[in-house]
Structure 1
Amino acid sequence: METTITRHVPPQHLIDLINPVVRAALRSRAHAPLDDALLILHVTGRRSGRTLDIPVTYHRFGDELLVVTQHTWRANLRGGAEVQVTLQGRCRTMHAEVDEDPRSVAATILELVRRDGLHATQRLVGLTFHPEQVPEPAELEGAVRRFDLAFVRLTSCR
């Protein structure tokens, strides 16, 4: 049976409205309730030199923090980059690598399903599988291409 895969993300105008509040909360002493789900990724534009402060959801995956995105700001991290990350109320330097290969992204999603379960993974990556079953790798790879998904992998700088 073929799985239908859909993507659900809040409308951009709602994200733009909420992000200043989220950024302020993550930088304040009131950050604790958000710590297990959100961080601020401080990305410097390669051409503009401007710093973007982007609240993103993350997931711990071994020694890495995984961030799923479909946004174009990820281009600034291609080839690897040192970035500032506000996590658990503290700013730290981390190394960012972007995985934009649809086969690799799909394989990571399937690994997350095996490790954390179907529902947790669907919430993390913003995908819904109909019926609620693990899709075939080729189907998932097609969805990754269709929704232009990538993972940003953050690791500690030692």
Structure 2
Amino acid sequence: MQISDVFRAASAAVNRGATALITSPRWGRIVGLGLTEIRYTGRRSGRSVVLPVGYRRRGSDILIGVAMPDGKKWWRNFTGAGAPLTILLGGAQRSGHAVATRDPRGRVTVTVRLDD
């Protein structure tokens, strides 16, 4: 087994645990203050993806910072004109449009504009 396989398996386990906490009736309100779940369709694979992410609000926008972006691929689904997604906020699924941008320092932020 290669290190990348071990990392991928560990990452999947952590994501499942975080998603369980976010959607938990007991812990979801507390955990959901800084973590949420996004759902989107992979641009190349066409598969449905569910992913826990950290977020913060700025006005009416939802900002998702991507830690170590060069080691991750999911945010690339939202480059260019972006793509639709669903985000869990306050216990309800909300639809929106997400666009990923990289600043001059290499940091990546995915900005979500919610549909009305």
Fold match by TM threshold 0.5 = yes
Question: Which residues in structure 2 correspond to 1:93-104 (within 5 Å)?
Answer: 93-100=95-102, 102-103=103-104
State the identity as a percent.
26
Q: Tell me, yes or no, if structure 1 residue 80 matches structure 2 residue 82.
A: yes
SS at match of 2:88: strand
Q: 1:12-44: CA deviations, max 9, x gaps? A: 665433211211222231211112100111121
Code of the aligned partner of 1:72: K
Residue matched to 2:19: 23
Residue matched to 1:152: 110
Distance 1:14 1:48 in 2: 22
Distance 1:75 1:51 in 2: 15
Distance 1:13 1:58 in 2: 24
* More displaced stretch, 21-30 vs 67-76: 21-30
Q: CA RMSD in A?
A: 1.8
Question: Which residues in structure 2 correspond to 1:55-134 (within 5 Å)?
Answer: 55-69=52-66, 70=69, 71-78=72-79, 79-100=81-102, 102-103=103-104
Distance 1:35 1:27 in 2: 8
> Structure 2 regions of 5+ residues with no counterpart?
1-6
Structure-1-length-normalised TM-score: 0.59
The structure with the largest strand share of the pair is 2
* Count of residue pairs brought into register by the alignment: 104
SS at match of 2:13: helix
More relative contact order, 1 or 2 (CA 8 Å, 6+ apart): 1
